[in-house]
Structure 1
Amino acid sequence: MPRRKVLTNNNNSEEDKVMQPTKAKRARIAFHLELPKRRQIIGNVLVCGTGDTGQLGLGEDVLERKRPALVESIPNPVDVCAGGMHCLVLTKNGDVYSFGCNDEGALGRDTSAEGSESTPALIDLPGKALCISAGDSHSACLLEDGRVYAWGSFRDSHGNMGLTIDGNKRTPINLLEGTICCSIASGADHLVILTTAGKVYTVGCAEQGQLGRISERSVGGEGRRGKRDLLRPDQLIIKRTKPFEAIWATNYCTFLRESQTETIWAVGLNNYKQLTHAKEAERVLIPIKTDLKDVKQIAGGQHHTLVLDNSSRCFAIGRPDYGRLGVGDVKDVVAELMPIPQLSGRTAFVGCGEACSYAITNDGKLYSWGMGSNQQLGVGDGDDELEPVVVSSKNTANKRMLLAAGGGQHSVFLAESDVQEEQKENVPASKKAKTAASAAQAAPAAEAPMEQENPTEVVSSVNDNEPATSVASEPAKKTAAKRGRKKN
């Protein structure tokens, strides 16, 4: 902390004292955010729902799972996210795997080989990743050096927009050359990027106002500059604000948290009050100040938003249809944040699909609610759930759940892996043999080998396989299903 001299009224100097910098000095101090740390708790990737475009990652013949099924071919996964019809998985050493629909390049890799979309495979990146995000047809990751790479495509009401003005990108490209970034968040068709300097950049579809920087006449890309301003990442500027320190994106909304004041700003679709603001407008083009405080996480789907605060309380707002809010049989739009009684004071993580929701409690239990017609709730019956229900199966039994995310018709979860097995897998074979030989040599000849006691489980801080259904391959069905999904 800087030191400065203080003068008394009689002009006699006092001893130097440690003091806060002056207002002018504070203005000159550079704001800086650190890069995030990659998640470290190794888990098991579980999937459920409909897999007709390979989004379950269980092979091209597996078209449905009613309960969470294990995806076995990814080493040491630590993070998962669901796009509209695809999934990304981040491993402990920073590799990214993808599986699902690749019509517009969302997998970021070659899938010309038969069946390669429906099994996880590695994406070739120019560095190791720290975190991942996915939208309807695009994917992104933040690398260890602060670069943001993305691939796939954005879409609007007219169809494919491309990822850049040059069109779709089927392999990863650097979106912000020369800029060090520290956070990314994907909506359905837009991407939000936070830099270490506290600046926010947006790119993608602007029709619902989600970019927060496009005028009314240009949101559709029909202006003089066409889609150039939409598909080039540019800074979202709010006058007279501090640098930003956190970002979140739902399908068609963007949320920003200001540093120092912790004010949360929101922009985008508001037809069901998804922005947590009473403003009477179906969409908001310029960020508005919300009353949200003490926020830990924000998640949302097409027409609803979940807010998790630092006291482990979970709130919902928006459209109640199919039970996506988790507050019971409500018919009218919930226009103000409503607490979800079953989760009050014990929620560690929230996630959303388009019309469904997920929560993980402090004791590691996974809950789901909302639309269940595609089995994406993982509870096995296909019914809608109006309130949170526990997701249980042989793959979640005695496991602490870590993460949950929903796509268009599928879900992906991360459950803690068996620690003892992970320790065994990470020991080289030569070391195992040497250890076994040493133990055998040290043991008395007359004694039997000592049985190992129950291993101690390492617990995360957070944060059933069924017979496969098989049908003939229908390539055309992928495109039809994808194009048929509506935004409003």
Structure 2
Amino acid sequence: MPSKRKVTNNSNKRKSPDSQDNAAMPLKRAKTSRKKPEVFPNEVPLKIEVTNNSNKRKSPDSQDNAAVPLKRAKTSRKMPKVLQNNDPKVKEILRQVTTSGIILTCGQGDTGQLGLGDDILEKTRFAQVPNFTKIVAIAGSGMHNVCLTDEGKVITFGCNDEGALGRDTIEGGEATPGLVDLPGRAIQVTAGDSHSAALMEDGRVFVWGSFRDSHGTLGLLTKNKESTPVQILRNQKFIKIASGSDHLVLLDNTRKVFTCGCGEQGQLGRLPERKTDRNSGRGGNKLLTPDQVYFKISKKIEIENIWAGSYATFAKDANTDDLYVFGLNNYGQIGLKNCDKSFHPKVSDTLSRRKWIQISSGQHHTIALDEKGQVYVLGRKEYGRLGLGIVSEDATELVVVPKLSNTKCIDVAAGTAQSFAVTENGKLYAWGMGSEGQLGTGEEDDVLEPRVIESKYVKDLEVLRVSAGGQHTIILAKKINE
């Protein structure tokens, strides 16, 4: 039987920003200006005269060319270094933790995304997900989670309507974490609203679930959803993957970037606006078939790191401090000026010239962590998601979060309209929209500045990583002195 989504009575609760804001952002198709080839009516066709030279001696050209093949000059183009997944550089961009821990969740649980059983529909404080104590990576999404064990096994729980769990949920159910059957050891996991992905230690990538666009279910690699893992781009080897709400970004071992999924906001970076509608010619095939993103025609760009926001993509140039961005920018959340969305890569002057450790982007804001442990925010101010207190304007330039300016952080995450930061001593800070208990404060109020989470289950733990979903949050932690 297909999984049924539980419906809770939230009539008295404030609607999420998705329901408030998307109506204000109608998707418009750009007018096409397809040009016909130019015709020159006065042009006379070129005539070639043929003469009979059978009695003439052949020219030296015709005698010698067969014996002297033309040689191409040697080029000095430097081949890109092929990276392996066991390289220290790769481990650095994956930010793998060196110790395993437990997972805790809070927020809305109506589709099993808390992993606490069918009866737990909401938690305003973090609670431990039972039976799993050796987790090394987490990925929260709209309504499900993907976790990675120290043995490279993948665990999922939450909504499975589009196949995002990658496993049969008839027996165990959606709210009980279960293993995904994968052919090998995984080293990274990601999750979007209705899809999931895993990067294997040998460079293969497997995906499952479905992408969605403004018309509904879009499909995954074809127009159908995938309920179990399928391999993507079989001839490529990858070193990192990143998931937006409905798109996937892949960095291969020669520093090239590939994308697939929904492109309506420009988040694929490789198609003009008119081609991002599934109904425009072969639009659907071009969206779902992973293809390379090209950054600059004038020079060869090698990318060393990638991140994905809900509706945007970020790519760091390996040879400079330039950060390329593409996607939704209606609140300046990806650092472009005078531009609501970008369908092709542009250098973000706002985000360039810094060494970023982590970038996370929600619906309308971005939070970024630099190599010094400083936390910066950018974008929309409503609901306190920037952590700047009461402010009258959105942040169109990078702003340091004042309450964390004297604290070194090791991780950050953006949810739909909420933000989180983890400090080097294992403390978790949360701020932004709290209407579904997703901040873990024990209340459902918005928080305008970072607040340390010191609830019963968290205060005796060292938090290692945080990942924010739509209306829930998941953290990875270990017991202090363990």
Q: Shared fold (TM-score greater than 0.5)?
A: yes
Query: Paired residue for 1:355?
Result: 417
2: distance between equivalents of 1:144 and 1:75?
22
User: Which of residues 282, 307, 312 is equivalent to 2:340?
Assistant: 282
Match of 1:229, SS state, is: helix
Question: Is there any run of 5+ residues in structure 1 with no aligned partner, and where?
Answer: 1-23, 419-456, 459-488
2: distance between equivalents of 1:28 and 1:131?
30
CA shift for structure 1 position 75: 4.3
Query: Paired residue for 1:41?
Result: 99
Query: Paired residue for 2:468?
Result: 406
2: distance between equivalents of 1:74 and 1:243?
39
Return the letter of the residue paired with 1:106. A
1: distance between equivalents of 2:208 and 2:320?
35
1: distance between equivalents of 2:79 and 2:206?
30
For the pair 1:161 / 2:218, whether they are aligned, the reply is: yes
For the Cα contact (< 8 Å) 2:453–2:459, is it kept in 1?
no
Match of 2:383, SS state, is: helix
User: Which of residues 356, 364, 368 is equivalent to 1:307?
Assistant: 368
1: distance between equivalents of 2:123 and 2:170?
25
For the pair 1:392 / 2:451, whether they are aligned, the reply is: no
1: distance between equivalents of 2:216 and 2:237?
32
Query: Paired residue for 2:125?
Result: 67
For the pair 1:148 / 2:205, whether they are aligned, the reply is: yes
CA shift for structure 1 position 220: 1.3
CA shift for structure 1 position 261: 1.2
Query: Paired residue for 1:122?
Result: 179
Query: Paired residue for 1:54?
Result: 112
1: distance between equivalents of 2:176 and 2:295?
43
For the pair 1:28 / 2:78, whether they are aligned, the reply is: yes
Bigger shift: 152-161 or 345-354? 345-354
What TM-score does the superposition give when structure 2 sets the normalisation length? 0.80
2: distance between equivalents of 1:224 and 1:160?
18
What TM-score does the superposition give when structure 1 sets the normalisation length? 0.79
2: distance between equivalents of 1:91 and 1:242?
34
For the Cα contact (< 8 Å) 2:240–2:251, is it kept in 1?
yes
For the pair 1:295 / 2:360, whether they are aligned, the reply is: no
For the pair 1:332 / 2:393, whether they are aligned, the reply is: yes
User: Which of residues 229, 242, 248 is equivalent to 1:191?
Assistant: 248
- CA RMSD of the aligned region, Å? 1.5
Query: Paired residue for 1:366?
Result: 428
Question: Is there any run of 5+ residues in structure 2 with no aligned partner, and where?
Answer: 1-74
Query: Paired residue for 2:38?
Result: none
CA shift for structure 1 position 222: 2.1
Match of 2:285, SS state, is: coil
For the pair 1:224 / 2:281, whether they are aligned, the reply is: yes
For the Cα contact (< 8 Å) 1:31–1:243, is it kept in 2?
no
Query: Paired residue for 1:264?
Result: 323
2: distance between equivalents of 1:226 and 1:168?
17
User: Which of residues 247, 258, 262 is equivalent to 1:201?
Assistant: 258
Match of 2:419, SS state, is: strand
Bigger shift: 344-353 or 33-42? 33-42
For the pair 1:93 / 2:117, whether they are aligned, the reply is: no
Please list the CA deviations of residues 288-341 of structure 1 after superposition, one character each: whole Å capped at 9, or x if unmatched.
Answer: 102322222111100000111111111111111100011111232211111101
For the Cα contact (< 8 Å) 1:321–1:331, is it kept in 2?
no
The alignment-based identity, stated in percent, is 46
2: distance between equivalents of 1:143 and 1:86?
21
1: distance between equivalents of 2:389 and 2:82?
43
CA shift for structure 1 position 223: 1.8
For the Cα contact (< 8 Å) 2:190–2:197, is it kept in 1?
yes
Query: Paired residue for 1:317?
Result: 378
Return the letter of the residue paired with 1:124. D
